[in-house]
Every structure is written in C-alpha cells, then in structure tokens.
Amino acid sequence: MTENNESTRKTWNKFAKPYAELFMELDWYNASYTHFCDLLKQKSSVLELACGPGNITRFLANYRPDLKLLATDSADEMLKQAVHIAPSATLMQLDCTAFPNIENKFDGILAGFLLPYLNQNQWLTLLQDCAKNLNPAGVVYFSAIEGNYSDSRNEWNSEKTDALFVHYYSEAYLLETLAQNGFKPLKTYRVAYEKSSGLCETHLVILARKT
C-alpha cells in the first residue's frame, strides 16, 4: 500500500470491477506463475498478498489444486470479485502492512502487482516479514514496474478521476535487497505491457528462494 493506506483502499474498491475485466484473462504472466508453482512441493501452503479480483489466485488453484492458498487484499470489493473467481482459496481482508499479524508459516509467498504501490521503506519491511513467515527454502514471487525510483509519480486512470502513486524499481536494487534479506534470486522475467495510453512499460517479475 502507499503512504495513505485508507485513500488507496478506497481507490482500489472503486477499481475492483474494471481491474478484473482488464486483467482476468491476461496470460502474459502465466510462464512466471507456472515457474513459481513448479518450485513448490506437493500440498505447499501459499500466501498471496494483494490478490485483487483473484486472477492470479485462479491460475494457482487451477494449475496446482493441491496447494493450500490464502489470498489476501485490503480492498473488500476486490475480495468480493475473488470469492467467485477462486472459490477453493481461503480469502482474508488484510493490508500487507499488517502482514506480521499472520502467525502461519508458508512455503511460498506471492505478491503480483503490489510493489508499484509500496515505497522503498515498505518494500524492505515486506521483505523482512516474508523472511520471518517463510518455511526453510520457501519461495517468493514479486512483480514491479522497471524504472528509476526517482521517477515515481502519481498515475491517473483513463477518466482522470482517480490517481495512485506508482513507484518504479530497478532489477539491481530488487536483487540487492533480496540478497540482503536472505533470499537467493532464481529468475527474472520481463514482460512488455502496453497501457491504455499507448505507452509501453516493462514489468519485472523476480522469483527467489529463502536461503
């Protein structure tokens, strides 16, 4: 979440339905989701942070029905979408900044489309929380928008009615901070994403294992 969690939550509640329509059938990231799943043993426990309307949750549940999935999001309207999309997963309303409140240990933690809305301090705290809540040799999955952190800025929706502050991250910084927090990077994916404005940005997907 951004610095103003309540404001961000309200905005994501408004975006729940259009976000689901935009991303639900998108398959550009499926190779990285498959890779994440293939790194997990049978009946692994997986925590998904910022699950949104459940598009990734549905993929995980369909590809690996043996997984024990806990999907979380701070926006209740997103969870209302997800409960229909991924009925086999356990859903919980949770802001990622309240992650330490979860006492369970997990074999995998996945956060797709969360890092753009976290500043560097929040990212580092999230990494520390993941390290604490992962079982030995646990796997993490993070995606981010590639760019210079100094270029982070407000981005408006197509109707110019709402804006969210978006943070950009370099691969070098993410790999360095992962290593500093006890993770061994396994693979980086790059996905070219064309926005509704016609501009193209690069999404980074990084998989790593707890050492």
Question: Residue 176 corresponds to which tokens in the numbers above?
Answer: 């360095």
What average pLDDT does range 82-110 have in this prediction?
A: 89
DSSP 91-155: EEE--GGGGGG----EEEEEETT-GGG--HHHHHHHHHHHHHHEEEEEEEEEEEEBS-GGG-EEE
With 0-12 / 13-18 / 19 or more C-beta atoms within 10 angstroms meaning exposed / middle / buried, residue 53 is buried
Mean pLDDT for the chain overall: 88
Reply yes or no on whether the pLDDT at 107 is more than 90.
yes
Which residues span the domain enclosing 40? 5-210
Kindly state the DSSP code that residue 51 receives in the 8-state scheme.
Answer: -
Domain count, the chain: 1
Contacts of 64 (CB under 8 A, 6+ apart): 37, 40
Query: Hunting for tokens 């197509």 — which residue is that?
Result: 158
pTM for this model (two decimals)? 0.88
Query: Hunting for tokens 């950009």 — which residue is that?
Result: 168
Whether residue 136 contacts residue 128, with contact meaning beta carbons closer than 8 Å, is answered with no
pLDDT (tens digit per residue) in 155-209: 865 555 667 899 999 999 999 999 999 999 999 999 998 776 667 899 999 999 9
Question: Residue 1 corresponds to which tokens in the numbers above?
Answer: 């979440």
CATH of the domain at 173: 3.40.50.150
